[in-house]
Amino acid sequence: VLERICKEEWQRIPKSRMNIGNQCCVFLSIFLCISICLGEDYDLDDKTGLGRSFDGIGGLSGGGATSRLLVNYAEPYRSQILDYLFKVCFLHLEGYEWWLMKEAKKRNPNITLIGLPWAFPGWVGNGENWPYSFPDITASYVVSWILGAKQYHDLDIDYVGIWNERSFNSKYIKLLRYTLDKSGLERVKIIASDNLWEPISSVVIADKELQDAVEILGVHYPGTNTVPEALKTGKKLWSSEDYSTFNDNVGGGCWARILNQNYVNGKMTATISWNLVSSYYEDLPFERDGLMTAKEPWSGNYVVESPIWITAHTTQFTEPGWTYLQTVGHFTHGGSYVALTDERGNLTIITETMTHDHSVCIRPPLPSYDVTAQNVTFHLKGTFASISELQVWHSKFDFKTNKTVLFQNIKVWLSVTEGSFSIELDVDEVYTFTTVRNGQRGSYPDPPPSAPFPKSYKDDFDVSGNPYFSEAPNFADQTGVFEYFTNQTDPGPHVSTLRQVVTQRPVTWVADADQTISVIGDYQWQDLMVSCDIYMESVHTGGVFIAVRVNKGGGVVRSTRGVFLWVYADGTYKVTNDLNGMTVLAEGMSGTRARVWYTLTLTVKGNYASADLDGYPLWKNAVLWEPRHGWAAMGTSSFELAQFDNFAIEALA
């Protein structure tokens, strides 16, 4: 149509008059024609009713100890990071480790707290890797956790889930609701099932008792879409885990698109990012998938990534409890818009025009679509017809010249004339138009520069007082739990130690290793010497290790390779090329036994490895070829009690 109109405009001009000046006029006419044709009108109106209530934007701290390194930052950098995540003038987000929840509440007392089990203690399954065989035990455990949050940490948990991305059980959900109510926790609501829309939606429709038990239908990675059955339930719909994308500007574009379109397409009123903050070693799976990055407590460096400021486009100008207008949707030429009101005269409009290639999330696949620059006109009607001016906040992702602008306040108020205003929207932009006046692009001085993990590192695990965290700095537990411990049976140099405390394999979410392991250091380390004092507590069956060049963690830790030095309470040792101990490089008698302290030293240079026990060589020059680099680590041969002390690293290359 555009081409036909423009040709007609050209043909109206007589050939004899087609001089240069007239050609310019013709081209101007064509340009105006294009501008007019790409201009569209959109009504924002509340007189026909409102949409769903907005429940907020959140972040998950968990599912892999994703905030593990954050607590070890020195001040003032730790508080600065927490402010970016939680302060009202920055963002509203969620977290659920005790310390992190307390810090979030300090900064935003109205924050919502959610608990979602990924795994369960082994005793919950009574020997089975399944939490529903004894649903009364599982429900009692979850409710005890919620009661403990209040009793020991003064934290009120608002919602609780079932089992992350695994099967749900209707009987268990009903029993959990009953147990919560019986314990005086009627206010705690249930989210189900933190997986797919189906079968939970259909089962809720068919089962009145289940329908009464479930407050929220939560789904993971919905691709901004829902299903008819979910809408038929009448329940609130949440994208209870989303994003999970590398936090560069494409990741910011992904976040911008789904924050709008989860409601426009799927009527989802909350979107929760996995994860909250990328505060874990970057070479673990899903590196830098947080809304910001804080992975160097040893240097103090952190990075406020683009998703933080994209979130601010919504959270600084709305609150949970605001309501979406029914008049939201897609722009004709690509992108989307939402509008929310506090029903007291305030209005906030958020637009996004993210192109396909600049907003791809890690999952699910994103079908192709087109976005072009366009002129849009919003007509404010109903309650909003009298609005005369709006504040404007703007982000522009520039993928060509790297001149990206994030969350910039356009200082001049936007005039609304007779209830309407127009704006030219380029591609890859986010705008907020709002009557709310207290927006702020909070900032701090630049943090220290990035630096690698120290090549020389020691920890004697001696802590004074009662620390508010129990893990030693920079150790990242992949399986098992390593905690500070006061060893009252040892009056000598090993009073304060680090102890592995999980003694039964959990009801797992993924195929965790049969061994426990905690990693530390620089993944690029090649030649390395590690020493550690070790103490086995299990007579005859105990076993511990120290390791270098450990090359995997997270959900694939079971297949970790490296150089592992093991000693056992039965008086033997071995050196393996893998965590599960199948590839043996050396083995023999060590004379070790339980309840005696020993010092292990493991050295790797090039293709050769050697080890000492209490300063005496166990073996020399075992040959290895892979892996070529990786973390240092320590752990146990099973889920058992064992202690570690005086851990030291010297990176040789």
Residues known to be catalytic: 165, 241
What are the residue ranges of helices labelled H in 38-121?
77-86, 98-107
- CA atoms of 71 and 502, how far apart (whole Å): 22
Q: Residue 177: name the closest of 131, 220, 206, 146 by CA.
A: 146
- CA atoms of 37 and 3, how far apart (whole Å): 11
- CA atoms of 67 and 79, how far apart (whole Å): 14
The 3-state DSSP class for residue 311 equals helix
Q: Residue 412: name the closest of 434, 390, 431 by CA.
A: 390
What is the number of alpha carbons within 13 Å of residue 413 lying toward its C-beta?
11
Q: Within the chain, what is the greatest distance between any pair of CA atoms? A: 108
Mention every residue, 6+ apart, whose C-beta is less than 8 A from residue 539: 569, 593, 594, 595
Gyration radius of the chain's alpha carbons: 29
* Residue the block writes with tokens 């026990």: 613
- CA atoms of 512 and 561, how far apart (whole Å): 15
8 A C-beta contact, residue 442 and residue 88: no
- CA atoms of 141 and 133, how far apart (whole Å): 14
Q: Residue 531: name the closest of 644, 421, 380, 366 by CA.
A: 644
What is the number of alpha carbons within 13 Å of residue 415 lying toward its C-beta?
2
Tokens matching residue 83: 């402010």
Q: Residue 175: name the closest of 198, 141, 151 by CA.
A: 141
